[in-house]
Amino acid sequence: MGKLRLSSFFPSSSSSSADAEAKKQNRRSFSALSSSLRNKDAGTNGAAAPPAPKVTKTETAPEQSTSRMLALAQKITKAAEKLEAHMKAKNLPMPSFDVDAPADFPSLPEDVQGSRQEIIHATKELALLAHGPRESIRWGVWEFLDVMALAAINHYGIAKLVPVDSTITLAELQAKTSLDAINLARLLRMVMTNGIFREPSPGVIAHTAASRVLAEDEDMQAWVGFNGEDIFPAAGHVLPALKAHPEATSLTRAGFQFAFDTVDKEPMFATFGKDPVRARRMGRAMASLTGGEGYEPSYFVDVEKGGYDFSDLDATGGTFVDIGGSHGFMCVDLANKYKNMKFVVQDLQKTVDSAPKPISADSQVAERITLLAHDFFTEQVTKDADVYFFRWIMHNYSTPYAISLLKNLIPALKPGARIIINDHCLLEAGQENPWDERVMRRMDVVMLALLNAQERSEAEFKELFAAAGDGFVFKVS
């Protein structure tokens, strides 16, 4: 997970140039988009816009694309051999669709994990080449049907109705659901095309390893539910939202509001606040996502994993404020490691009320952590702390909101206070490995669909601070 460390000190005053910058920020700020808008501005001022940079041709000649296919196939073979050799040497079960196959890969040495990723990337590229451009687009645009079918299967809890160690006929299965026979069969057969369930003989259904996950992992059920029943309709309404409000900054005018008839009424979190079942589902879905490899708090806490070293703060008994810190799990982990620091976890009243009490069984930890109801869209109430921490907050907000989050801190900041942003950090297109690139691009548009929000690049984070005030010194770790 990308992390940014941002230091700040008390800004002298809010200058008019900062205000002008803030206005300029009142739109999404992808770096490529910013430069094209700058060019447009130059044009309206009478200055000639600089010519667009020349595009380098990357197409390959027909004989080269043949060799690319073979190169990819060879790469896949080599990487699969390496992965398989490791699995054999360690006596690990081979990847399989079988119902008893492990749901996850075991932790692999870095080079073997690299081979596994190579297989994933190269097979995708090879498939695209083998399909050809027209077919890739024609059938690629049907991928939403995978989500539709899986969401329905998940909604009706079909996976839990299929026995793990035997089979069930479609007729028997149908008797256990409110889905009619035809729709049950067609939805099942649709998800089977993705390795979820199998039909060993006509009309007989059995689990695969993937459908078993759907049957047994409640967080995964929530993940599919949240994606299929909240994000999917929101994504389907991004286009009308963009057409009606092209600036795409308002929390009440995103695809989500167009999907659920709440335009100009309430942000997504308020809608969920009124519906405990949906709110719980989103909470569990997030747990499923953040339980995944690479998202653990240890990446922030453990210095050996590239985390942040707070020894200096610990020596002076400094104060760390986790803004929008949920139930304070990050502060608990930090307090376990640093024995003198003090912590304030700020969140909405409801979240504070539902936090575990005591927050830790270890009283030495619990007594140094204060839970405080505070709305981060109002002026910061914990003054003169050493660190103000935002983990997974900024990406929930478009630029005008994100700037106000930072501005709200300014009256509380003492010289040398640090603001730490722990969020994804977008790299320029093509700089990430293809897997991470795709996850991040998807996350970015999920933010658009739900909240008119965005993931940001380092330059875009820097722009937020420049727009919020003059006194910030921006550092990256």
Ligand X SMILES: C[S@@+](CC[C@H](N)C(=O)[O-])C[C@H]1O[C@@H](n2cnc3c(N)ncnc32)[C@H](O)[C@@H]1O
Q: Which is nearer to ligand X, 206 or 251 (CB)?
A: 251
Minimum gap (Å) between residue 458 Cβ and ligand X: 20
Minimum distance between the CB of residue 60 and ligand X, rounded to whole angstroms?
Answer: 42
Please answer whether residues 325 and 389 qualify as being in contact, where contact means their C-beta atoms are separated by less than 8 angstroms: yes
Rounded-to-5 percentages of helix, strand, coil across the chain: 50, 10, 40
Task: Give dist(CA 359, CA 332) in Å, integer.
Answer: 8
Residue with Cβ nearer ligand X (139 or 295):
295
Find the length of the chain. 477
DSSP 85-138: HHHHHTTPPPP-SSTTS-SSPPP--HHHHHHHHHHHHHHHHHHHHHH-HHHHHH
What is the closest distance, in whole angstroms, from the C-beta atom of residue 346 to ligand X in the complex?
A: 6
Give the footprint of ligand X on this chain (CB under 6 A): 269, 324-326, 347-348, 351, 375-377, 391-393, 396
Q: Give me the residue whose beta carbon is nearest to ligand X.
A: 324
What minimum distance in Å lies between the beta carbon of 197 and ligand X?
33
Q: Which of 186-205 are b and which e, b meaning 16 or more Cβ less than 10 Å from the residue's Cβ?
A: ebbebbbeeebbbeeeeeeb
- Out of 207, 245, 395, 424, pick the active-site residue: 395
Taking the mean position of all CA atoms in its chain, how far away is CA 387?
24
Three-state DSSP at 80 gives helix
374 assigned to active site: no
| Whole-number CA gyration radius for the chain | 25
Q: Kindly tell me which of 169 and 349 has the beta carbon lying closer to ligand X.
A: 349
The bridge status of strand 168-169 relative to strand 4-8 is unpaired
Angle at 119 between CA 115 and CA 121, to 5 degrees: 110
The residue (of 326 and 454) whose beta carbon lies closer to ligand X is 326
CB closer to ligand X out of 323 and 466: 323
* CB of residue 290 to ligand X, shortest distance in Å: 6
Which residues are annotated as catalytic? 395
